[in-house]
Chains A and B, each alone.
Chain A
Amino acid sequence: MLKRTIEHVGNRVIQAVWRMGYAARFFVTILLHSGTAFRRFGLTIRELYFSGVLTLVVILVSGLFVGMVLGLQGYETLQTYGAEESLGIVVALSLVRELGPVVAALLFASRAGSAITAEIGLMKATEQLSAMEMMAVDPIARVVAPRFWAGVISMPLLAALFSAMGILGGYLVGVQLIGIDEGSFWSQMQNAVDFERDIVNGVIKSVVFGIAITAIALFEGYDAPPTAEGVSGATTRTVVTSSLAVLALDFVLTAFMFRGIG
């Protein structure tokens, strides 16, 4: 009884380590087979449409609402200190540093990441990938790598759009609705937001999130058991794993960027 429990634990650990190694090798393979994604850029543009353009509406609408909520809540708190003119700082810094990259990445994971996993999982289940191999077409270069680069390219664009829409939402609520002085809203924001420290770091974050999400989504799809349940389970795992990865990576990146650990 005890022996079987220990065997069970050992088996699970070996499985997990094996999967990690497999995922890492898969990631390296994508990078090595990326040539086609740039030589035949039409393939990548097609994927940019599916993962970038189709996520655009979700990103724009939620960015606007997140910004408007930040405007309302920030004003509620700041006015107790008579510092409601600092609303611009609160809205801009929280969006550019954290909410823009992170929330855009979470939306991207659930909108585009899940679609990538389902598509590749289904291609595997219907043996389209094997058919490609039979025709001497490398499925990693033809199917996987364009999707990877499309995700990496579209993620920072979407995050920037999210931040811009959010600041616009904060402006609408703060200046137009509540009536904070427009000049101090923008000028305090400009005083507090540093281009390199805040904006560039936000872009770096979103690029890292883009790599993590698309790599996880592609791996889960490629590794999915070729059955209906297998594909659905892989899609769920993509959303869960990539969301957790985004939040964990965000902590690590923030620690390095803003606190100077090490």
Chain B
Amino acid sequence: MNKTVLDLWVGLLVLAGIAALLFLALKVGSTSAINSSASYEVVARFENIGGLKLRAPVKSAGVVVGRVADIQFDNETFEAAVTLRLDKRYAFPRDSSVAILTSGLLGEQYIGLEAGGDSLKLKAHDRILITQDAVVLENLIGRFLYDKAQEGAPQ
């Protein structure tokens, strides 16, 4: 076997292997799908975000329009400040509302964005004022049991 042909093939193998490792590290392991140049960020505050995670989808009318870019805890208001990175192609009225919803019974949590009626549109770094917290199942069951107990109590 010719030595240059041998070197060429081995070089190809090594480069392909390194490319595969890079693919695993970058594409499979981290970084978000929407790049920052074609998007804008808005902030929403929640009292409770439940199990919301970074890079969870933001859906409007069921269509993915963005992703959760950052989740911070605000130590002054004791709220969660969630940064949403929305696709630049979509503009939403300023009085739009967001809610933390769950896809399916066991599915992941995502943010549902409901468009409002304002003629002004949301700009970068705006704050979405109307928010609805994640539903915590334990609280729901607790309230249900409490209501049941109230019903059964003697007047």
Contacts and interface: CB of A to CB of B under 8 A. Distances in A.
B154 interface: no
Contacts of A186: 27, 33
Given A48-B13, A81-B106, A199 B24 contact: yes
Interface residues of A, number: 40
Contacts of A53: 9-10, 12-13
Contacts of A190: 27-32, 55
B54 interface: yes
Given A49-B9, A191-B55, A199-B28, A157 B16 contact: yes
A48 B33 contact: no
Nearest to A164: B20
A52 B67 CA distance: 41
A161 B20 contact: yes
Interface string B92-109: 000000000001111110
Given A49-B9, A83-B104, A193 B64 contact: no
Interface in A41-59: 42, 45-46, 48-49, 52-53, 56
B13 A154 contact: yes
Nearest to B53: A191
B24 A163 contact: yes
A86 B25 CA distance: 19
A92 interface: yes
Interface of B: 1, 3, 6-7, 9-10, 12-14, 16-21, 23-25, 27-33, 53-55, 57, 64, 67, 103-108
Given A83-B104, A183-B64, A199-B29, 10 more contacts: A49-B10, A81-B104, A82-B104, A164-B23, A167-B23, A183-B33, A190-B30, A191-B54, A194-B29, A195-B25
